[in-house]
A and B are shown apart, each in its own frame.
Chain A
Amino acid sequence: MMQQSLGSAVGILRQQPWSLWWVQARRLTRIEIRRNLFTRRAWWIYFLAFIPAVIILIHLLIDSHPGFGMSDDSAVLAGVVQLYYVRLGIFFGCLGIFSRLIRGEMIERSLHYYLLSPVRREVILLSKFFAGAVSAVLLFGVAVVADFVLMYAGYGAAGRDFMMHGPGLGQIEAYLLIVVLGCLGYGSIFLLLSLMFRNPMPGAMLLLGWEAINPVMPSLLQKFSVASYLRHLMPVSVPAEGVFALLTVETEPVAAWVAVLGLLALIAVVLTYTCYRMRRLEIRYTTE
């Protein structure tokens, strides 16, 4: 009986026009990436992503490493990723990119063109999400790589060896994984918030507060936080001193693969519910 229903489910899935959906998704993603990255309104996201690189470059040009070692700079870089990128840069960058995908088009009164196209609403939503993720990862990924290269460039051959053959390679891989998961995690949440609320900003501020207090929550509640998963992937721990102790509270230790799978599961749940909301979405621009 169960085999029969499984067989019929597989049959239904096989009948779906997957190749058409794939073509539509690719084209929609291309249109959306163009809109995300090549508009004047995206300048502040470029600013958010690249401001640490500019500061590191200024330091490199003016006072190249007076009395600091590479391990100190590794700790500084870890702090930049955990305290700036995860907490602020990626958070607000994703808020800007993902909340615009649906809500922004409703405010501009142009979403109906997509809803009147022969594309399933789930395909529209997932393509927009993917385009947002590609845009955010491209911006913040390039920015983190730039931070990394500029941070160790001043050390000459030793710096190059650290980046190419030493522990640096593992560190940059971990940072890039954090950027990818951070963009996917925050992106999915902001996409959902923008479908649920006319103004997603209050919801985003609540999320920011939640992320800040999450480390002191019981371990079950810690599972509902993007930052807490990302913290477990940090290759270098950030020293918890002074005011930063508030932001770097140690959470229950979790294996990296558990953190990755946990976050991916959270993203999948959020996206599934977002697809459900998208399916029921009505165009009533007068209420925007």
Chain B
Amino acid sequence: MNAVTDTIRFENVSKFYGEVLGVNRVSLTLTPGISTLVGPNGSGKTTLMNLMTGLVQPSRGSVSVLGLSPSNATEFFCNVGYCAQFDSFPRGLTGFQFVLDSLMLFGMSEEDAHALTAESLERVQLDGEAAHRKIAGYSKGMRQKIRLAQSIAHHPRVLVLDEPLNGLDPMARAESLALFQELGRQGMHVVISSHILDEVDRISDRVVLITGGYLIAQGNIHEVRKEVRDKPMQVLIRCDSPELLASKMFAVNHCVEARLHADGHGVFLRTGDIDQFYRLLNEIAAEGLVKIEAVAPADDNANAIYQYLIGSDGSAS
């Protein structure tokens, strides 16, 4: 494997829909694992996914997936599966028929197509009785599952998922996330866009933040968080006397905010210098004045990074 045949690459890609900007000058390289596209509505996430899979063509620049181009459909789509956000299906089909019809176009035998259909339906936990009913009678969650089954049925190396958790109940969301995690562990590329940041955050190897068609940050969540230097980092410290700890911490000038945890057994502290902060915390613990039970970053996640870099109104800060 070399770098080109194992990565998804955007090289200075722009896409305009007439006069409307889709994405502008995006250069991005995604390695195997789970990558999450994060951004507000209309930020260009779906455009990036559609560019990746050839549903739209770049106005400028080039896109390659594992060194392949969507124009070579035969090889490309044997390696790529895309679960798009369009909640629609060809009319009159059952879930089973829908997946089976898709697989038959790969040129495989009917026997193999049946086996792979059954396997993919099992992976998304859609039971046999439901699979043989018409899709028109499915709930939103079941439709989401059947689209996911269709996109993974041929065992692609790259799986692109546009809002895959929409419409799923908490149990089904957890099952889907476990499936994505398993696929990521197997060395697949899993590219996800989702608004449910808290859940996706737990499984992502990297995030790509995008707003207004511009890429504003990318990389491992912790690295991206460190790069956001103008926002003091927040740390939750579980201890027996949070008030005392807060007063000690406020004695140093890099600590800018303290907030007691609702249960009274912890404090959220914000600091502009995380290294000094931990050194001081060690000293306080060594003095024995405060018994520290646990320390954890409280804003080292996709949600916080989204708030810092993009803001709740969707405009990059």
Contact = CB atoms under 8 A, between A and B. Distances in A.
Tell me if chain B binds chain A: yes
Interface of A: 17, 20, 23-24, 27-28, 31, 35, 39, 105, 108-110, 112-121, 279-280, 282-285
Interface stretch (B25-33, B48-56, B163-171, B178-186): B48-56
Interface of B: 17, 50, 53-57, 71, 73-78, 80-82, 84, 86, 88-92, 101-102, 104-107, 150
A200 to B, nearest CB: 20
A112 B74 contact: no
B73 A109 contact: no
A263 B71 CA distance: 31
A236 B75 CA distance: 53
22 contacts: A23-B107, A28-B105, A31-B101, A31-B104, A35-B90, A35-B91, A35-B92, A108-B88, A109-B86, A110-B91, A112-B84, A112-B86, A113-B150, A116-B82, A118-B105, A119-B73, A119-B74, A119-B105, A279-B71, A282-B57, A283-B56, A285-B86
B55 A118 contact: no
Contact of A118 (B56, B57, B101, B106): B106
Contact of A282 (B55, B76, B105): B55
A17 B78 CA distance: 14
Contacts, number: 76
A117 B105 contact: yes
B41 to A, nearest CB: 12
B104 A27 contact: yes
B5 to A, nearest CB: 18
B54 A115 contact: yes
B180 to A, nearest CB: 19
A120 B105 CA distance: 11
Most chain B CB within 10 A, of A109, A116, A121, is at A116
A284 B105 contact: no
A118 B73 contact: yes
Nearest to A25: B105
Given A110-B89, A116-B77, 8 more contacts: A35-B91, A110-B88, A112-B86, A115-B55, A116-B53, A117-B77, A118-B75, A118-B107
B123 to A, nearest CB: 19
B238 to A, nearest CB: 48
A279 to B, nearest CB: 8
Contacts of A283: 50, 55-56
Contacts of A115: 54-55
Contacts of B77: 116-119
Given A118-B73, A118-B75, A283-B50, A112 B55 contact: yes
B88 A120 contact: no
A280 B78 CA distance: 21
Contacts of B102: 113, 117
* 5 shortest interchain CB distances as A-B pairs: A109-B88, A118-B77, A283-B55, A117-B105, A282-B56
A20 B86 contact: no
A110 B84 CA distance: 11
